[in-house]
Structure 1
Amino acid sequence: FIHMACDDEVWAHAQAYGYSSSLPRVSSNDREARPPSGPLPTDAPSIARRSELWEKLKDHKTASAGWTLARAINTGTCYPSSFVGCHAGDLESYTDYKELFYPVIEMYHKGYKTDGSMKHVTDMDVEKITTGLGDTTQAKIISTRIRTARNLKMFPLNPGGTKETRLEIADLMEKVFATLEGDLAGKFYRHTSMTPEETQNLVDRHFLFRGKDKMQAASG
């Protein structure tokens, strides 16, 4: 079990699943990793708590973000109801901790194999879409939106990022977005300078997460 700086609600939730209250809680500046014990209801911590895997990887840190096995499963440890329960802190996490991430990926993406036998094929030819939407379905659709997310390989992934790396990303992307013209042009919003009204407007339009999400906070 990874003792983190969980609040009282989280701690009570953890105890409800049989975690020992005799072990000390520690501050976020003095985290202590302990091998998980007892049944865990989420897949990721259950995999990570296998004694041989824990002993093998518990002291390892990835090169980019210094990501550890304890931090990788922090969400699932603090919140046993977490759907997946693990997060990668950088690209190396997927290879350094593949004994954790590969089984989770295969369980989450049913039918996908991580043994290298499968390859994702990108095909943007709309003529190959042979199934159309019926009249009833079309009548229900008011608007559609496609949201994409990309990572910059020179930076850790978001859970493993720091204040400094996030500011560097913001500075870099602000310059990139300033070069866009025509339909692609827009306004770049910084969390540090948005007004409450701008924040709420973006949340209402589903462009910005609401925040105050405990599971996201536990992920890093």
Structure 2
Amino acid sequence: MTLPMDENPYAAPRGALQDEPRLPPLPGWSAARLRLLGWLGLASALGALVVMLLSLPFGGGMLHATGYAYWLGLITVLLGDYLLLRFKSFVEARFEARGLSWPVWLCILLSLLLEVADPFLESSFHAFGWSALFFGLALIVYGGLTVWLGVRLRKVPGAYRALRVMAWLLIAGGLMLASLILALPAMLPLLGASLAQSRVFFRGCAEVRA
């Protein structure tokens, strides 16, 4: 006599042997919001790229002639700081990350200080006086804070691959900034970190939508 599978004690289990991992509760994080943050991140990276190109020697004349580069840089910095705050909140909610508040807030404060003081520093930078010294020290500190943030992101458990790439790019860009000699090419890994940040938002969007 053959017993039905439901009554046969020797039958293989039909249910899942292990519960599928589920998303933690993410109140306030919708797929549409994460998608918007991802596109804003791409816009911020594009703005940073334009400012970087205008800052190169062959773009210097156009930079001073237009007068728009400062405002574009300020808007880009404000947008980047806002995205960094949203990124921090998302990573803390999604991965229960800890230890991001201090490096994030200090990076934001110092970036705003450098952007606001840029016109005053630029006018006297060629004299290699106190302004040049302040700017150099600020870059060293900002590079150190960027490395700190990258190290904290490296310790986020179960992070996306894009988040880990972003962490390594922040560490590389921060070290290059702190060296001062490689401050200008440091914009490349930092720009890559912005693109990786956008990828994190898009990945979160796909995950929440699914």
Output the TM-score relative to the length of structure 1: 0.24
By relative contact order (CA 8 Å, sep 6+), the higher-ranking structure is 2
- Please state which structure has a larger fraction of its residues in helix: 2
